[in-house]
């Protein structure tokens, strides 16, 4: 698979170099008992600008890692989370991106005028139905070769990559049935207490079964970087909680039908048995999650906080817009490669 190349010099490269030094203890961050660095190694990057959109999203993903990646992977770099320069850089990169997302939201037309809780749920379902089965998944089910299936899934990253952590963050501060529904959803992600049924564990089994390659960020299409970054932006900005509820709810509404098409692709190309459990699980449970998310999280939250209603729909629209860009990019690229081969 031909993947995009990163610029030779970029903000992301500089940012990742600072993070790498901090992780390895090569940056003066002060004593371990001090929660804040005594110096700000990110200071030189405070006013830096990305060279292009790819650089923007690679930089944001590196920043989101500091907030959400496993602590054992971050090492000393975790203490950069409180850096004023990091906060300033993050805010500026996100402000430019949010301006673009807001334009996409304006294009949503009447969907951004929802009022009642019933309108909110209806709008969520309209968005979900519009691109529930993108051409990319139909192509995957009916035409893709085995190599294309593997490449597609490597780029897709599973229907809910990191979903368990996103749900955990999203439920903070909620109450009532919304809190309970997100807790139930998280428990399902955790295999209801069975380690073998944890969705992350099942995904690792899929990776092993089909020898799925791990694609470095600097080789991913920009559409894949932007799609991945949305979760990081929502999870690290407290004020975007309504948009996060909507974006995650849309994922639950759409994942089931898409997973069924992946299973059709597996049947057609003769995938190994170990490839099936992850997508079979989502094909079965996500339609239930989607309905419950609407009935027990979206609707009661819109009723309790009316001003959140349009914002939850907006988060769903953002997710839908980025999904469609990503899926079409991947499908077109894989078809082009097969044609050229």
Residue 109 within a domain: no
Position 8 scores a pLDDT of 56
> Does residue 108 lie in a domain region?
no
In this structure, the answer to whether residues 36 and 179 fall within a common structural domain is: no
Residues 143 and 64 in one domain: no
Is the same domain home to 307 and 158?
Answer: yes
Task: Report the run of H or E that residue 157 belongs to, with start and end.
Answer: none
The reply to whether 41 and 73 lie within a common domain is yes
**85 and 120, same domain (yes or no):** no
As a whole number, mean pLDDT of residues 10-26 equals 89
In the chain, the number of structural domains is 2
Same domain, 182 and 296: yes
Residue 5 lies in a domain: no
- Specify if 277 maps to a domain: yes
In a domain, 6, yes or no: no
pLDDT reading at 291 higher than 90: yes
Q: Looking at residue 295, which CATH number applies to its domain?
A: 1.20.910.10
Average pLDDT over residues 13-22: 93
Residue-number span of the structural domain to which 273 is assigned: 115-340
Q: How far is CA 80 from CA 34, 40, 318, in A?
A: 12, 8, 29
Tell me: do 254 and 303 sit in the same domain: yes
What single DSSP character describes residue 9?
A: S
Distance from C-alpha of 333 to C-alpha of 328, rounded to nearest angstrom? 8
Same domain, 99 and 163: no
Asked if residue 69 is part of any domain, the answer here is yes
Could you tell me the pLDDT band of residue 245, with boundaries at 50, 70 and 90?
Answer: very high
Q: Convert the pLDDT of each residue in 66-99 to its tens digit.
A: 999 999 999 999 999 989 999 999 999 999 999 9
Q: Is residue 2 part of a domain?
A: no
Can you state the angle between helices 222-235 and 53-68, rounded to 10 degrees? Answer: 40
Q: Which of 80, 103, 126 delimits the end of a domain? A: 103
The average pLDDT across 153-180 equals 89
The answer to whether residues 200 and 293 belong to one domain is yes
pLDDT, average across residues 50-56: 95
Identify whether residues 143 and 214 lie together within a single domain.
yes
Beta-carbon contacts of 28 under 8 Å, excluding residues fewer than 6 positions away, are 37, 38, 39, 41
Phi, psi angle pair for 10, to nearest 5°: -150, 160
Half-sphere exposure of 196 (CA within 13 A, CB side): 2
Single residue among 45, 69, 103 that ends a domain in this structure: 103
Choose the final residue of a domain: 55, 76, 103.
103
Residues 80 and 211 in one domain: no
CA-to-CA dists, residue 117 to 109, 123, 224, 287, angstroms: 18, 10, 32, 21
CB contact burial 240-266 (16+ within 10 A = b; e otherwise): bbbbbbbbbbbbbbbbbbbbbbbbebb
Mean pLDDT across the chain, nearest whole number? 89
Q: Are residues 53 and 191 in the same domain?
A: no
Mean pLDDT throughout 18-46? 72
């Amino acid at each position: 698979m031909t993947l995009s190349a990163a610029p030779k010099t970029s903000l992301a490269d500089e940012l990742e170099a600072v993070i790498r030094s901090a992780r390895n203890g090569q940056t003066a961050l002060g004593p371990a008992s001090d929660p804040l660095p005594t110096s700000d190694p990110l200071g030189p990057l405070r006013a830096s600008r990305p060279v292009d959109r790819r650089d923007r999203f690679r930089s944001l993903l590196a920043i989101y890692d500091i907030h959400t990646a496993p602590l054992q992977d971050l090492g000393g770099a975790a203490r950069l989370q409180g850096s004023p320069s990091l906060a300033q850089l993050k805010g500026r990169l996100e402000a430019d991106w949010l301006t673009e997302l807001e334009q996409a939201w304006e294009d949503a037309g009447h969907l951004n005028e929802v009022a009642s809780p019933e309108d909110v749920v209806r709008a969520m379902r309209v968005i979900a139905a519009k691109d529930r089965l993108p051409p990319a998944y139909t192509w995957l089910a009916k035409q893709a070769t085995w190599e294309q299936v593997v490449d597609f899934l490597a780029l897709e990253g599973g229907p809910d990559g990191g979903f368990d952590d996103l749900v955990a963050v999203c439920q903070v501060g909620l109450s009532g049935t919304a809190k309970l529904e997100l807790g139930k959803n998280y428990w399902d992600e955790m295999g209801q207490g069975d380690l073998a049924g944890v969705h992350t564990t099942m995904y690792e089994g899929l990776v092993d079964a089909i020898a799925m390659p791990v694609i470095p960020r600097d080789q991913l299409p920009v559409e894949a970087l932007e799609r991945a970054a949305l979760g990081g932006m929502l999870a690290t900005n407290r004020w975007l909680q309504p948009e996060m509820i909507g974006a995650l709810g849309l994922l639950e509404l759409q994942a089931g039908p898409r997973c069924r098409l992946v299973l059709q692709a597996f049947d057609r190309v003769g995938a190994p048995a170990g490839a099936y459990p992850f997508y079979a699980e989502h094909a079965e449970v996500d339609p239930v999650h989607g309905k419950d998310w609407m009935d027990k999280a979206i609707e009661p939250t819109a009723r309790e906080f009316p001003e959140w209603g349009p914002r939850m729909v907006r988060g769903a629209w953002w997710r839908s817009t980025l999904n469609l860009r990503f899926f079409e990019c991947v499908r077109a690229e894989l078809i082009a490669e097969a044609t050229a081969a």
